[in-house]
Structure 1
């Protein structure tokens, strides 16, 4: 993962399909997909591939 942030409610998480809002923690995968942090953490318990492009997700790297 690379550093993400908090987004205005102008786009959605591809896992839960809910909008990003100021109160939501989010992250950007190494393949540049924006996702809610909690969504990708739960996703990585079931899969080691990005839900958008199926590239490998490195869960051993630092999450900020």
Structure 2
């Protein structure tokens, strides 16, 4: 989990706690889930957006560019 959390800084919104559902996988967030919010305000599981960003640099919900802070590792 530490490796995943450190990758969160690559997504503009960082990691935060929320009680919604992920816009990519549509599953509810659990207390133990790492989550993030995009610059366009979509709530996502961190793992979902990290995998998504390997295929696309646009938000899967509104197609705005996802701003990154650096290369994903």
TM-score in same-fold range (> 0.5) = yes
8 Å CA contact 1:6, 1:24 repeated in 2: no
Cα distance, 1:60–1:8 mapped onto 2, change above 3 Å = closer
Distance 1:17 1:11, change over 3 A: same
Q: Show structure 1 runs of 4+ deviating over 2 A.
A: 1-11, 60-64
Displacement of 1:61 after TM fit?
5.7
Cα deviations by residue, 1:20-57 (Å, 9 ceiling, x for unpaired): 11010000000010000010000000000001100000
- Structure 2 CA distance for partners of 1:40 and 1:8, relative to 1, 3 Å: closer
- Tell me the matched-pair count: 64
Q: 1 or 2, which has the higher helix percentage?
A: 2
RMSD value, Cα: 3.2
